[in-house]
Amino acid sequence: MSRIVVTGGAGRLGRSVVTALADAGHEVFSFDREKLEGLAAEQVSVDLLDPDETRRAFERIRPAVVVHLAAIAVPGALPDPDIFRINTQLVWSVLAAALDSGTGSLLLASSPTVIGYGSPSGWAPERLPLDEDHPVAPWNGYAASKVAMEQIVQMAVRQHGDRMSFGVFRPCYVIAPEEWAGAPTQQGHTVAERIADPTLSAVALFNYVDARDAGEFVAAWIAGASDVPNGSTFFVGAPDALADGDTAVAVRAHLPALAPLSHQLTGTESVFSSARAERLLGWRATRLWRDQLTRTPVPQEATR
Ligand SMILES: NC(=O)c1ccc[n+]([C@@H]2O[C@H](COP(=O)([O-])OP(=O)(O)OC[C@H]3O[C@@H](n4cnc5c(N)ncnc54)[C@H](O)[C@@H]3O)[C@@H](O)[C@H]2O)c1
């Protein structure tokens, strides 16, 4: 059992990460500006943008592990310069406090958007499915902040890798448990609407992950971090695409830039490969949309 700080523990993903870690027997602390009733963690109110406040909170808890999720999590939620400044500042603040308080390992949430899909000036993959070695090409402030955050972690590996384990994961479009039954997803529509109107899911290349599976990935990383190369990056997604029918058919219909490589996808397979997480950590998402989705009536306007 470890003492674990989850930053952003009250968030969409954080809640399931906290639950998975508590279920695995860890002592969990949520460092967040928000509090959430019923969270299986001691909730510490802290503005992580304030380095002194952050340092004091870490000194009190002295966690063995930090899972850093707190961020502006939606591209376009703020102007690009603000998202970049806030997200990178949060990493500096949390990293410094973790180092000072003797933390042994730190896992950072990045994003698949670093890859560059959706760029207004055009983007095409080098190969499919996309793996962690595929080049990144951020085109907005959110994705640029995530590339910078990943680079700060790689810098920390070079500076402190002899005494601390670091990791990066790129969760796909996170679907919280209640969203299968019709609660709005991060983009405001429901999962059923996302399936019914493929253009909604195509913008994320049909990727998704159940938040509980992502939480279990975090638990698997904590258990195995010392046995994998320091600073390893992982895509964390469901093995299938969030699309009705074969992925290659959906890709050809809605993602012309990927169409020439669509033959490299088999059946319902995801455009993103999470094979590294399975190979190195024994983790594989098990909650698939075809099993999870409680088909709720889809409003007419979503199908037009
Ligand atoms: N939701 C997704 O689909 C998705 C996909 C890929 C990556 N991610 C990444 O995963 C992480 C979590 O995403 P989420 O969807 O749970 O986001 P969220 O917005 O639901 O949660 C973020 C949490 O961080 C907290 N926070 C933000 N700024 C803070 C500050 N200064 N001090 C203290 N707490 C602060 C917020 O209060 C919130 O509870 C983010 O880093 C996000 O970029 C999310």
**Which atom, in ligand 1's list, is nearest to the CA of 14?**
16
Q: How many beta carbons lie within 10 A of that of residue 12, not counting itself? A: 16
pLDDT of residue 187: 92
Q: How far does residue 71's CA lie from ligand 1's centre (Å)? A: 4
* Cα end-to-end distance, the chain, whole Å: 51
**Residue 25 corresponds to which tokens in the numbers above?**
């027997």
User: Chain-wide mean pLDDT for the chain?
Assistant: 95
What pLDDT was estimated at residue 210? Answer: 98
pLDDT band at 303 (very low <50, low <70, confident <90, very high): very low
pLDDT of residue 234: 98
Residue 73 lies in a domain: yes
The answer to whether position 186 is within a domain reads: no
Mean pLDDT confidence for 45-73: 98
Asked if the structure places residue 203 within a domain, the reply is no
pLDDT score of 265 more than 70: yes
User: Quick one: average pLDDT of 78-105?
Assistant: 98
Is 254 inside any structural domain?
Answer: no
In a domain, 23, yes or no: yes
pLDDT at position 304, please?
Answer: 39
Range of the domain at 220: 3-172+209-239+271-286
Q: How far is the CA of 145 from the centre of ligand 1 (A)?
A: 13
Q: If you measure from the C-alpha of residue 20 to the centroid of ligand 1, how many angstroms do you get, rounded to a whole number?
A: 17
pLDDT at 299: 53
Give the model's confidence band at 26: pLDDT under 50 very low, under 70 low, under 90 confident, else very high: very high
Residue 47 maps to a domain = yes
Which of 5, 7, 15, 33 to mutate for ligand 1's pocket (most ligand atoms within 8 Å of CB)? 33
pLDDT at 120: 96
Cα-to-centroid distance, 68 and ligand 1 (Å): 9
Of the pLDDT bands very low, low, confident and very high (cuts 50, 70, 90), residue 175 is very high
Strand partners, 168: 108, 233
Question: What's the pLDDT at 298?
Answer: 52
The answer to the question of residue 156 being in a domain is yes
- Ligand 1 atom at shortest distance from the alpha carbon of 9: 39
Q: How far is the CA of 215 from the centre of ligand 1 (A)?
A: 14
In this prediction, residue 294 carries a pLDDT of: 72
Rounded mean pLDDT of 181-201?
94
The domain total for the chain is 1
pLDDT tens sequence across 222-246: 999 999 999 999 999 999 999 999 9
Spatial separation of the C-alpha atoms in residues 107 and 105, rounded to whole Å: 7
Q: What spacing in Å lies between the alpha carbon of 7 and ligand 1's midpoint?
A: 8
Please state the rounded mean pLDDT for residues 257-270.
96
Pocket of ligand 1 (CB under 6 A): 8, 10-14, 32-34, 46-49, 69-71, 73, 109, 111, 171, 173-174, 186
Mean pLDDT throughout 48-62? 98
pTM of the shown model: 0.96
In this prediction, residue 1 carries a pLDDT of: 87
For ligand 1, atom 2, which residue shows the shortest CA distance? Answer: 174
Q: Which atom of ligand 1 is nearest to the CA of 34?
A: 37
Residue 261 in any domain: the answer is no
CATH number of the domain within which 109 lies: 3.40.50.720
> pLDDT at residue 302 above 50?
no
Task: Report the pLDDT value the prediction gives residue 203, as an integer from 0 to 100.
Answer: 96
